[in-house]
Structures are given as C-alpha cells and as structure tokens.
Amino acid sequence: MKSPRCILISGIIIFLALADGYAQIKFDGGLESGYYKSVGPGVVLQNGFFTGLDGMAGYDYKGENRSASARLRARPELYGFNNRLTTLKLRGDVYYRQNTNTVDWGVGLTGQKYNFNSSGLYLTYKMFSLSGSMDFYFIKYMPAEINFGYAGQFIRTPAGQSLRLYYAEGKLYKSLSNNSRLGFGLYAERFNVKGSPPGYNLYAGKENNGWRSGPEIGFNYLGESVLNLDYRFLIHSSALTNYPSIEHWIRLVAGKLLTSRLSVFLLADFYIRNFKYNADADKFSYLLYTAMNFDNRIYAKLGYELSGRVEVYLRSGYFNENLLGSKFNFEGWNALIGIDVSN
Amino acid sequence: MIKYKKLICISFFILCFSIFVKAQNIAGVEANLSSLKNNLMRNSARLDSLKAVLDIRAKRINDEKKKPDPDKSLIVSLMSGSANLANEIESTQNTIALLEKNIEYAKEELNKIYSSKIDSLSALEKSGAYKGNKEELKSLILFYTEKKLLVTPKIALLSFHPDKILGIDLKKASSPEERKLYEEYIKSALSEVNDRLNNLSESLDETARIISLEKKTNKFLEETEFDYDITPRSTSQQLQPANANQYGSVITEDASKVRASYEQNASEYGMLLSQLNFKPVDPKIKWIDPGKGKNSIGNLSEYNELLKEVKKRLLEYKLILTHKLNSVK
C-alpha cells in the first residue's frame, strides 16, 4: 500500500460494506450541447457553440438508522471555438447522517474548485465547507432544524480574495398537510474577507469583517407536482458598507411529471442587494463580499426518460454569475440539448 | 480446471443430499406437528370434560349447602374430589401450554422448510432449466405455498382466515349447498384481496411519483447550479447524504406528521407482509415486523419497496384463491 490514506479509505469501505446495511456505487454521466450568448457588461462578450460534460461517481451506504455518502463530480465546459472560454468545475463531498426518534443529525465536508479560463483572463475559485445539521422532533407536528458550519472561498484572479465565514441557522416547520409545509427561521453569518489588488500579496492588504443576518421563510409542496418557494432577507453590515445595506434572495423551484416519462422543471433565483457603500468601497472593491452562490438565473428544463437510467432533455435559461465584486460577472443565456445516464 | 470440476461435483452432491434430508425432514416434522395437534385436541377435550365435572361438583356442593340440614360428610367428600380435579385441570392446562409451544416450534420449523422449498422451486421455474411438466411445477409451488400459509403466524388484518380458506377443498364438499357456501367464502376473500391490491396500487403510484419527482428535482438543481453553495440556501438543499432523504425529502422530510402517517401505514403493511410471509423477506426490504417491532421504515424509497413486496405477495395469494375456484370448473 503506497499510502496510509489508502489503508484508511479501504478500511472505511470494508467497514461500511460489512456493517449492518448495504452500499451502492453510483455513477452519473451527461453530455449537453447548444448555443449560448453572453450579454451585458460582463467579462466575456461572445456567442456561439457550447458543450459541457458532467460526470459523477459516488458511494452510498445505508444502515439501520444511519447513512453516508461520498461523491466526486467533474464538469468541464467549452464556450465557443474561436476566442474560446473554458471552465472546469470539480466537487467532492462526504456526508454522514444518523437518525433517531427525536433527533436526526448529520455532518458533511465539501471541497470545490472552479477554473474560468479565457484569452487574457484566468480565475480560480476554491471552496470548502464543514457543516452540521440537526433535526428535532420534540414539538408535535412542528419539527425544528439547526444548520451550522464553517466555510471558505479563495478567489485567484489578477486580484485575489479570501472569504471565511461561520454561520448558524435555526428553522421551524409547520406541516400544512401531508404534502406541504411552511418553514420560518433566522440566519446569521460572521464573515471575514481578505484581499489584495493585482500584484500584491493576498494577505497583506486591508480586511473586511462583517455580519449578515435576518429572517427567512419558505413554502414547500411535493405531491402531484413540486413547488418550493424561499425568501431570505438579510441586513449586511461590514467595513465597506453603511446602514442600511440589505440583501434579498428569492428562490422558486417548480416541477411536474406531465406523463410517467415526460417532466418539466423551472428554477428561478433572484439575488438583489441594495448596499450603501462608504468612501472606502471603491478603493477596496476587491474586498467586497462575493460568495459563489449569488447568481441570478432562470432555467427551464423539459426532460424525457428513455429508460429508468437514460434521460434526454432540453434546457434553456438566463445566467448571471457574479465572479468578483459588483461589476465583475459573466452574464448570458443558453439553449441546450442533453443526455444523462445514471445507474 | 479439474479442481473446479471436483468442486462442482461436491457442491452438487451436497445439494442433492440436503434436498434428500429436507424431504425426509418435512415428513418427520409434519408427522410430529400432526401428532402434537392430535395430542392437543385430546387434552383440550379432557380439559373441557374435567371442567364440566368440576362445575357439576361445585353445583352439588352449593346445592347441599343450601339445604336446611346439609350432609357435611358429602360436602367434605365432594370438596376433596374437587381438589383432585383442580389439580388434574392444572396439570392438563400445563400440558396444553407445552403442546401449544411445541406446535408453534414445529410450525416455525415447517415455515422455514416450506419457504426453502418454494424458493428452490421458484428458482428452478425461473431458470428455465426444468424440462418436465411446468404446470406440475407450478402446482407444486402452490401446494407448498398453501402449506406454508397454514403454518404462518396469524395476524387478524385480513378479515378472512387464510388457513381456513386454504383448508377448503371444493371437490370434497359433502353437498352442493356446502360447496356453494365455500365458493362464496373464497369469492369474498378474493374480492377483499382485490380491494387491497387496488388500494396498494394507488399508494404505489403515489409514492413512485413522489420519489421520481423528488429525484428529478434534485437532479435538475444539481446540473443547473452544480451545488455551489458553501452556506445553506434553501429548504431544498439541506445537509444530508443523497440517499438519506426522509419521506420525500425535498420538502416533507422532517415533517413529523408525515412521518407518523407513513409509519402507521408501514406498520399495517408490515402486518400484511407477516401474514403473507410465504418466503423469507429480502433483508434489503425494511418493514415493521409486528412480532419483533424492528426494521422500521426510514424513508419513502424504503416504504415504496415494502409496498412492492406486499403487492407481489398479494398477487401470489390471489393466484392461489383463483386456482382454488377454477379447480372445480
């Protein structure tokens, strides 16, 4: 054995395989192609052919009252042939979850990397998160949930930025029926951003510390169709903003099985921030809070299941990826046809 | 290569030997069960008559006591005889309890043997390797399935008694009226099985749709946003392994109301599965065994698997009932 890590991994796999449950190796692969067009004042202004591959391999374990999974995922994308833009997204995660009568809890670790490469522009994002989750069933018909964690994001562009944060979230759910529920809670996050202008040491510059906190509400339905609606309102306070600086985030997920094989889905994310910047904000724009998950997008998908394992689909939508600060983004729309195969 | 051939020969020999031993075993255990049942019947009859005699004696003692001038020596004699009777009754009751226990053991053993028989015959039928009369093979499976039902622990979920129905042989009815009566009984059972199958199919469709919808929704979100989040973002993206979704997790995963509702249904289907326990349940299928009270349902996918298994077994039972009705046409 070349490395003790191999022994550890083999041991874990053997333990899980022999434990009182069963395990399953999972594979998922997809290919999609189509047309894209970038718009707005983004960093890349072009249009043309798009193609992307998506591959996932995972290991799922399920025992009497516990479950675990490990997954690796890669997604290379190619935008255009001339002046081409390539992206590579990588993700690995492991989760463990334990269920009891009154409390379910879980822990997870994820790592992600995102390369964004075009002529004259090279960006790398690295992200990790260590998270915990607990679901409580003490109150009859009103389960509660607590999420907490520590996460980091490191952006390397001509400029650089590192973002580290701690978060905690408490939620209560009220079942409206067997198929629907209402959730409401509070979210709080403490963050620290370090950065540097191009050519300077990442950690030599000024820091931006701050808080994001506020209420959230969500409605979910899953029955004949699926409908998830979430809204989060956050007050943002930091070294570069004045009060009141606020953030709104709205998510809509809807879907329906039109027939046993044909399905349609819609995802809409709206992130709106209304910041009152102070005098330092322009000078230290590389210190502005920019988490990768703040993308505006609307996507629709029409899928047709050829068999239990193969699906073909049409997917089209608008995307606006906020890459760094408030003015550095990749915006456009695409229309794709794809195929997905899974075991 | 020769080693492998030897290994195959030895395995084949062991298989043949075990089949031979099992065949001997069935007859032995069946004879034992029959003997135990006869013994139980004899002892039950004896207990009834002892109790009757005791009642008569108690009545005589009371009558004698009520007389203006009771015969004390008669009362003493009757009471003394009653004490002996009471001892005999207690002893017979102990014998009956022991016999009932032994009958349960014998039934349990036969249950296992029949299950094994049904499994091997079903495997033979599925493999297509059997060259003889396939109808005979099917009849043999039905024959053992009927026997298996007779020794399966009974739980009163179905309103009719499977063992009584399986014991009915329409060909052996003593009169056309009796045959008609039995026929009606089987038809009513068949109708109940059909009703249960219809309800089950509806539940299966619903759970399958929810599972599919949930899986597709998660897939859609994954491929659209690549799970970028480093912080929790919505109720649809909570921390959990991909296979740990509870009760249709996208939204209802932790709704205790839903949890209770599914557990109630799962418990009922567990009882039905126990009643239709022709063959061992696949360990991958989670179910609430009413006798053991464990292996509870953890999520909607497991619930769906349980429903599939119960449906499969109800279809098998329906086949037996239909076969019984058709046997006299």
The predicted structure's pLDDT at residue B155: 42
Cis status of the peptide bond prior to A244, with omega within 30 of 0: yes
Q: Is A335 left (phi over 0), alpha (psi -120 to 50) or beta?
A: beta
pLDDT at B237: 40
Q: What is the mean pLDDT of residues A59-84?
A: 85
Give CA–CA dist B123/B228, Å, rounded: 48
What's the pLDDT at A47? 81
- Percentage with pLDDT > 70 across chain A: 84
Closest by CA position to A68, among listed A27, A92, A93, A96: A96
What mean pLDDT comes out for the span A281-304? 83
pLDDT bin (cut points 50, 70, 90) of residue B253 is: very low
Domains of chain A: 25-342 (2.40.160)
pLDDT tens figures, A137-148: 777 667 888 999
User: Which of B219, B225, B254 is nearest residue A135 as measured by Cβ atoms?
Assistant: B254
Compare CB distances from B241 to A68, A128, A297 and report the shortest one's residue: A68
- In this structure, of A156-160, B119-123, B295-299, the range with the lowest mean pLDDT score is B295-299
Q: What is the pLDDT of residue B3?
A: 60
CA distance B176 to B184: 12
CA atoms of A292 and A295, how far apart (whole Å): 7
Whether residue B259 contacts residue A175, with contact meaning beta carbons closer than 8 Å, is answered with no
Instruction: Pick the range with the lowest mean pLDDT from A187-196, A253-262, B280-289.
Output: B280-289
Instruction: Compute the average pLDDT of residues A245-272.
Output: 92
The residue among A111, A163, A58, A30 whose CA lies nearest residue B224 is A30
Q: Tell me the per-residue pLDDT of B15-50, one tens digit each, with 9 for 90 and over.
A: 555 555 555 577 888 888 888 888 988 998 888 888
Query: A175 vs B220: CB contact, 8 Å cut-off?
Result: no
Indicate whether B254 pLDDT > 50. Answer: no
Q: What is the pLDDT, as a whole number, of residue A149?
A: 93
> Is pLDDT above 50 for A260?
yes
Does residue B240 have a pLDDT over 70?
A: no
- Residues 6 or more apart whose CB falls under 8 angstroms from that of B79 comprise B61
pLDDT of B257 reads 44
**Mean model confidence pLDDT for chain A:** 84
Tokens of B230: 């480093």
Residue bearing the bigger pLDDT, B111 or B7: B111
> What pLDDT is stored for residue A209 in this prediction?
92
DSSP string covering A212-245, please? EEEEEEEEEEESSEEEEEEEEEEEEEETTEEEEE
Per-residue pLDDT at A192 exceeds 70: yes
> Are A226 and B225 inside 8 Å of each other by CB?
no
Ranking A189-198, B23-32, B143-152 by mean pLDDT, the lowest is B143-152
Beta-carbon separation of B225 and A267 below 8 A: yes
Average pLDDT over residues A296-316: 93
Distance (Å) from the alpha carbon of B193 to chain A's nearest alpha carbon: 27
Q: Cβ contacts (< 8 Å) between B253 and chain A: which residues? A: 135
The answer to whether A93 and A57 have CB atoms below 8 angstroms apart is no
CB B212 within 8 A of CB B322: no
The verdict on B259 touching A (C-beta cutoff 8 Å) is: yes
Q: What is the pLDDT of residue A60?
A: 86
Residue with tokens 């009369």: B133
Mean pLDDT of A54-69: 85
Query: At what angle are helices B2-66 and B72-127 packed, to 10 degrees?
Result: 160
Nearest beta carbon to residue A255 from set B216, B241, B295: B216
**Pick from B229, B288, B196: which is nearest to A249 by CA?**
B229
For chain B, domain boundaries? 2-151, 176-326
Select from A226, A265, A100 the least CA-distant residue to B246.
A100
Interchain contact B4–A (C-beta under 8 A): no
Look at B322 and B139; give whichever has higher pLDDT. B322
Q: Are A104 and A97 in contact (CB under 8 A)?
A: yes
Report CB contact under 8 Å: A71, B242: yes
Tell me the chain A residues in contact with residue B221 when contact means C-beta distances shorter than 8 Å: 253, 267
Calculate mean pLDDT across residues B138-148. 76
Chain B positions touching A96 (Cβ under 8 A) are 241
pLDDT band at A41 (very low <50, low <70, confident <90, very high): low
| Nearest Cα residue to A313 out of A341, A285, A277, A287 | A341
Chain B CB contacts of A131 under 8 Å are 232, 239
Q: Residue A21 has what pLDDT?
A: 55
Contacts of B251 in chain A (CB under 8 A): 180-181, 220-222, 226, 228
**pLDDT exceeds 90 at position A316:** yes
Give contacts of B 261-280 with A, CB under 8 A: 261
Inter-chain contact B229–A293, Cβ cutoff 8 Å? yes
Q: Which of the residue ranges A74-88, A250-264, B279-293 has the most confident prediction, judged by mean pLDDT?
A: A250-264
Q: One-letter amino acid identity for B201? A: S
Predicted local distance difference test score (pLDDT) of residue B164: 67
Statement: residue B243 has pLDDT above 50: no
Q: Is the pLDDT of residue A39 over 70?
A: yes
Decide if B257 and A104 are in contact by the 8 Å CB cutoff.
no
CA A5 to chain centre: 28
pLDDT range class, residue A290, cuts 50, 70, 90: confident
The interface predicted TM-score (ipTM) is 0.85
**Lowest-confidence range among A118-132, A289-303, B153-167?**
B153-167
* Cβ within 8 Å, pair A110-B230: yes
